[in-house]
Structure 1
Amino acid sequence: MSNKAGSGRYSNGAARRKCKARHIAAEGPIPICALCGKPIDLTLKTPHPLSCELDEIIPFSRGGSPVSFDNTQLAHRICNQRKGNKITTTGHQNTKQPQNTIPISRQW
């Protein structure tokens, strides 16, 4: 079992809570999940899949800062878990167009 005490994410708990509060204040009364685009209910607590979490745009495991305001965003817990340590493009994942599609025109 690994020791999480030495990792940067867990040793900066107060800084992450402060960054999360800053994101919530910037978003307004109903924050939006950066990954799915749906509203986040702030009354739900951590074990709930739709609770609010701080997601790193560039994951800590790939060299991103876990406490930088520019590298973090609000997301649902389940969305953040599905993302894992992948680097995604900005914007909502569910609105991404599939790549390698051929435009079809019916205008003869």
Structure 2
Amino acid sequence: MHREPVTMANSMRGTSARWAKIRDAQKSRRLPCNLCGQPIDYSLKWPHPQSFSADHIRPYEHNPDLRLDPGNVQSSHLRCNQSKGDNQHYSAGMGSASQVF
């Protein structure tokens, strides 16, 4: 039995279809942006900055095993997701605490 060697190209085969299912399931929940807390206008289409974007909570660049984990996805605005980038400790501008606790 011949096995194809594992390469980046064939290890990602089928990933886009699986990601589309995860993204679409998250979008169907119609939640507000989990990064800024504001509502998302789901009628806006990509690449509008306020359109829906499925955000990896723990960026897959640092956590490749979570790339297709539905539990690692949250709703966000495209702009918020792009601002976050691959930063695992992103805060959507909540500012600093008003006092030390």
Give the TM-score range, shorter chain. 0.7 to 0.9
What is the alpha-carbon root mean square deviation over aligned residues?
3.0
Please tell me whether residue 70 in structure 1 is matched to residue 63 in structure 2: no
What corresponds to 1:58 in structure 2? Answer: 58
> 8 Å contact 1:23–1:74 — kept in the other structure?
yes
After TM superposition, the score normalised by the length of structure 1 is 0.68
After TM superposition, the structure 1 = structure 2 runs for residues 1-20 of structure 1, keeping only pairs within 5 Å, are: 6=9, 12-20=15-23
The superposition leaves residues 53-86 of structure 1 with CA deviations (integer Å, 9 ceiling, x where unpaired) of 1111111110242221111111100000100111
Q: Which runs of 5+ in 2 are unaligned?
A: 1-7
**Structure number with higher helix proportion:** 1
Whether the 8 Å contact between 1:57 and 1:73 is mirrored in structure 2 is yes
Q: Tell me the distance in 2 between the aligned counterparts of 1:68 and 1:86.
A: 18
Structure 1 gaps of 5+ residues are 104-108
State whether residues 59 and 87 of structure 1, in contact with CA within 8 Å, keep that contact through their aligned partners in structure 2. yes
Q: Which whole-Å CA distance do the structure 1 matches of 2:12 and 2:78 have between them?
A: 16
In 1: Cα distance, 2:14 partner to 2:52 partner: 20
**1:9–1:60 CA contact under 8 A, matched in 2:** no
Q: TM-score, normalised by structure 2?
A: 0.72
Q: Aligned partners of 2:45, 2:26: CA distance in 1, in Å?
A: 17
Quick check: 2:27–2:54 contact (8 Å CA) kept in 1?
no
2:53, 2:78 within 8 Å by CA — same for their partners in 1?
A: yes
Report the CA distance between 1:100 and its aligned residue.
Answer: 8.7
After superposition, the Cα gap between the structure-2 partners of 1:93 and 1:15, relative to the gap in structure 1 and judged at 3 Å, is same
Name the count of aligned residue pairs.
93
CA distance in 2, matches of 1:93, 1:35: 6
1:13-92 alignment, distance < 5 Å: 13-25=16-28, 27=29, 30-64=30-64, 65-88=66-89
Distance 2:17 2:48 in 1: 21
